[in-house]
Structure formats: C-alpha cells, structure tokens
A = this chain, B = another copy of it.
C-alpha cells in the first residue's frame, strides 16, 4: 500500500527530506510538497551575493526547480499554502495563494514541517513604505534587485548588523551606494563578543561604511512619492533612498502551534534526535522552524542556517524511508564576511557561557594567516573562551582577512570532541609558509588559553 508523505515547505529541509525519502523507497511512497512561494531548493544565504552582482543570475541560486523535483517523482505543488493541520485526522488544509488554483485538504501518513523562519519585523511607523525591504526570501531579493535597477538610489541604510546585515552592507557597497548600518547593540555583529565586534566595526568603517551602534530605529519617513526618505532614530534622521531590514528571523511555527505541536523556549518546534515532533510518531520537523540541542549549553536554540536545514532534511528523509538518522546537535558554528574581512565563531560567546553557568577565562591573540614573510600575510585576531580550571574549550571567535575564517572549523571539531586547550597546544596541524606560520593561529591561541587558565588558578600563600 502506498504511504503518503506531505511536506510543508519546499526549500532546503523539505525538498531534501522529500528526495532522500523517495530515493530510498521502493515505490511505496507518495511524496507531496506544498510550497507557497515561487521557488524550491534555493540558497537564501546567496541572496546578498546576487544583489551585489557577484552571482550573475538569480537562477544560479536555485539548486533544483519544481520541474526537476517533479521529474524525480515528487508531487510539488507551488503557490500552495498550508493553512491548517489536523493531527488527529492526519489532514492538511491548503489554499491556492494566487486564487486561481485549488483549495482543499490532503491526508497524510507522515507529515514534514519545513516552514522555515519569518523575518523579525518590528511594528515601526512607516515600515511598509516603498523602498524598505526584507531579504529573507528569493522573492524579497528580487524586489531589491528590481528596486536598485529601476531607481537612482544613492544612499542605503541597513537596519541590523548581524550576518545578513553586514552581508547586505557589502552588497550595497558593491552596488556603489553610500551605506549606513544601524544596530541597537554597542558593537556590530552580536554573534561575536563586543571586543571582537569592535574589530568588525573598524574594518567596516575603513571600507567606507558608516556604522551607527547603540542606535534604535524609531520609524521611517517617506517622501512625497510615498517612498522611504529617511530612517528616524533617537539621534536624528538618516537620509535613505533604500532600506534593508536585517533584523534576524524567528521560527515559523504558527501552523503547528495551532495544531497543538510543542514549541520550545527558543520558539522552534521541539523534536527528538530523529527530528520527530515530540509526542507525534508521524510528524517531523526540521530546518529554521525547529529548536536544536546546543552541545555545550545543553539548551534548546533556534539557528536559521542552510547547513542545518539540509542536514535535518536528510535525516528526516532517511528516517521516513526506514533508515536511522539522528541529529547530534549544534555548536553554533558560523562564518561570514564583509568584503575582505572574515568572521567566524563557534561554541559559546561570553554572554552565552555566562548564561549557561560556565566559569571561564578568555584570551585574545593576533597571528598571521600565512608565514609572516609570505606575500599577502595579514593579521587575524582569535579569541577563545575556556572553562576555568578544566581548560575545556568553550568557544572561539576569529576576525581576520583572507583564509582566516575557515580555521573556525578546527576549533569546532576540537569543541565537538571536548578538547582542552592544553592538549590542543601541540596538535598536528598542517604547516607550510603559504598556509600558516610554524605555529598556526589555532595553536598560538590554545597556548595562550593554557596560560589564562593557569593565571586564574588561586595560589596558596607561600
């Protein structure tokens, strides 16, 4: 007998779950995907680079079109929005977004929630004005490109200096605009500690970006044409021809919440390690709409990131087709760049470590990316957060130039394995002058971490 899987959301998690399940089935599965937008399987993370012009065509961001998925046997229904879930009857209600399609109900044997995240849009005066854009979906990206191509916008204001904010600041700069970036926090890029964020600020200022921190947006004023003209803040108005909102996202869980699914403290669906919604054998969820286990803090966190979304999709698909897949949790590893500045982080930042109750010391070192005498040698700054006494690595942050950021993966792998800085000091990492100094920055940081732990140990009076 055919088993029907209904997937809500046709991006990374949803399509990966659908195709993995189908690939491992023997024709006993029917897979239906409901997607309210125009696209499937695209790289939202790539949008800033398309807007910047680094990626020439929108379609390059699309890994697989609805047609390609259909050819693979998946029943993809575009512009179709799920409106309700009845967990008892095992039925999803849907409606055609464009009004000319079919509304109805669809029964399922297994349900996959891959509804992603929704942007945080503050209820600010004038936020709906023309020229103010979110940048979370490919549709929104299209609107920005259209707006930039069709207007004579000269001054861009980016609200929010997190990942998407700094990436959009770079994109606007690449487009030749004057760029101001705003954030309420004291330093940009709150995913890293303020002392490291200050390095990002300096670098962005050197690139010609105006960085206004400790600045809350109060509203937006429009010109006579109804288009945004300035951003209102406590410190005055900032003229703007175009505004990008990069205020982060939150899990999109209304549908499941209404149906009675459990949502955690982070706002995402609570699942078991196999990505099954707790208490529901045949309901699965993954990607930006779920809460995942942080391996260090032990807490549930919501992290909107394509790599997790893809992993979840594969795990769900594996489980749906009789295999075993389990998500081992996250460390909060992330990487970004603003022009030539690379920013990486993994594990816990200082405030996260404190919130989790850890006692810690920190150390911050500077090192070159390649041998100091090698052409292109540039400094990078590495900060470690290390547990008191035990010396266990809790977190690492990198701000530097070319070929510095990806070193965060070495720290991530070390943290994953509960390494202490003492053992890390003499790890066998690769060395050649075009790739690192004889002591790679990772080793230098570990060594200084050892000293910080030592210095912190109280000495008995002599």
Contacts and interface: CB of A to CB of B under 8 A. Distances in A.
Interface of A: 12, 43, 45-46, 49, 54-55, 60-61, 163, 295, 305-307, 309-311, 315, 327-337, 342, 344, 346, 371, 373-375, 403, 405-410, 412-414, 416-417, 419, 423, 426-436, 438-440, 442
A427 B439 contact: no
A409 B407 contact: yes
B306 A426 contact: no
Please give me the 7 A-B residue pairs with the lowest Cβ-Cβ distance, nearest first: A417-B417, A335-B430, A307-B431, A60-B373, A413-B413, A331-B428, A333-B428
Contact of A46 (B346, B373, B419): B373
Contacts of A295: 428
Contacts of A436: 406
Question: Which of A163, A306, A330 has most chain B Cβ within 10 Å?
Answer: A306
B43 A371 contact: yes
A310 B417 contact: no
23 contacts: A43-B433, A45-B371, A54-B374, A55-B374, A295-B428, A307-B439, A307-B440, A310-B438, A311-B426, A315-B426, A330-B428, A333-B429, A333-B430, A335-B435, A346-B428, A405-B435, A409-B409, A409-B429, A409-B442, A410-B413, A412-B427, A412-B428, A417-B419
A406 B413 CA distance: 14
A350 to B, nearest CB: 20
A403 B337 CA distance: 15
A346 B46 CA distance: 32
Given A46-B373, A328-B427, 20 more contacts: A43-B373, A45-B371, A46-B374, A46-B433, A54-B374, A307-B429, A311-B426, A332-B428, A333-B428, A333-B430, A334-B432, A335-B432, A335-B435, A403-B406, A408-B430, A412-B429, A413-B413, A413-B419, A416-B427, A416-B428
A430 B435 CA distance: 19
Copies of this protein, total: 2
Nearest to A294: B428
A122 to B, nearest CB: 25
Contacts of A309: 438
A334 to B, nearest CB: 6
B55 A375 contact: yes
Nearest to A334: B430
Nearest to A53: B375
A123 to B, nearest CB: 30
Nearest to A336: B432
A331 B431 CA distance: 13
A248 to B, nearest CB: 16
Contacts of A12: 438
A104 to B, nearest CB: 33
A435 B406 CA distance: 7
A426 to B, nearest CB: 5
A335 B428 CA distance: 12
Contacts of A403: 403, 406
